[in-house]
Amino acid sequence: MCQSILLNSGIRATRRLKVSGFLPQVMSCPSGFLEKFRDLQSFRLHTGNINAYNELKLKRFASSAEELSACLKIQLASTPAATDFRNNGTLLLCDNSHIDKYERDDLKITMKLFLSRWCEKELKEAVDALKDQLATTSIELLIVAFPELEIVDGESEEEENKRWIKHVLPLWTSLEELIKSGEVVSLGVSDLSLNQLQTLCDEVDTRPTVDHLRIDGCCVVPPELQEYAKNHDVQLLTHNDPIPFPTREVFHSFCTLNEETPLCSDLFEPTWTVRYTVWVRRRSVMASKGYIVAFVGTQHNKE
């Protein structure tokens, strides 16, 4: 089995959810720490609450990928708070300082998962990772951005849609299991066309409650999609996430400036990315926001 390591500066609690933050100390990572990565088959990197950084919180980014890139340039240049892996498989990237505490019932957790491949195992792994980092048993809303289909020359839209739903249904079955177990309260999708949304709703028992849309160059959702969403209780929300989410490109950009960082070598490649937000109900206050990125060893991935 692959060993999963969490670079964690996140949220910990038992009955309460503690929203954590930290202040970065920009310096070079010790070489002994960097060497520890070479023996890993896989690991996950967690930014923790990025709202703790004023330079990130106060800046308006053109996209979430730009925000993640700026965050990593700060964090991966910092010395971790701990240089040994703990028994629970967690490595602290920075010290935590609790900035506030809230009762769990007062919070709403939204998770958006960017998948780079059609893999039910990675979907469940991502949900488990976020629950562990936020010390919670459930997530109020899980939005999934599915991988892009490979282009087939000469394929009609109907044929492509049939091929797409064959990939989606196994993942959706896993998502419905999360609903049944109470780990997720409601499901959302990202950037589905009217045909895709109709096909999905016709095929599944648990329909999505949200279609997360990127509106490029205008602010108008197609009227047919608006009408269908209204009649089927699907909320249309907008986002600024690139399609697909360019995790590899984000790290490539970082690596051109930090060639000695092990994440930038050919030893690892990112597989999925999670962005999460924690909102305080009835107050419209964002208590926490962060990213988790999963990596797998390139040699292990080939096997």
Mind listing the pLDDT tens digit for each residue in 35-65? 566 666 777 778 888 887 788 877 888 888 8
The pair of three-digit structure tokens given for residue 206, joined into one six-digit string:
């648990």
Under a CB-based contact definition with an 8 Å cutoff, are residues 123 and 278 in contact?
A: no
Cβ count within 10 A of residue 120 = 14
Bridge partners, 296 (sequence order): 42, 269
The pair of three-digit structure tokens given for residue 149, joined into one six-digit string:
């289909």
The pair of three-digit structure tokens given for residue 256, joined into one six-digit string:
């051109």
The pair of three-digit structure tokens given for residue 213, joined into one six-digit string:
């849309």
What letter represents residue 16's amino acid?
Answer: R
Q: Residue 290 contacts by C-beta under 8 Å, 6 or more apart in sequence?
A: 10, 46, 47, 48, 49, 50, 275, 276
**Is residue 21's pLDDT more than 80?**
no
Q: What is the pLDDT of residue 2?
A: 31
DSSP 215: -
pTM for the model: 0.82
Residues 87-139 pLDDT 10s: 334 454 544 443 357 888 999 999 999 999 999 999 999 999 899 888 899 99
Extents of the domains making up the chain = 6-302
Unique residue bearing structure tokens 């109470």: 182
Q: What is the pLDDT of residue 247?
A: 80
Cis previous bond, 244, omega within 30? yes
Under a CB-based contact definition with an 8 Å cutoff, are residues 21 and 49 in contact?
A: yes
The pair of three-digit structure tokens given for residue 125, joined into one six-digit string:
């792994």
The whole-chain average pLDDT of the chain stands at: 77
Q: How far apart are the C-alpha atoms of 59 and 11, rounded to whole Å?
A: 23
Percentage of residues of the chain with pLDDT beyond 70: 71
Residues 261-291 pLDDT 10s: 555 666 778 889 999 999 998 888 888 888 8
Q: Residue 144 contacts by C-beta under 8 Å, 6 or more apart in sequence?
A: 112, 113, 115, 123, 171, 175, 187, 188, 189, 190
Alpha carbons within 13 angstroms on the beta-carbon side of residue 97 total 7
- For residues 152-157, give the mean pLDDT: 85
Q: What is the pLDDT of residue 273?
A: 93
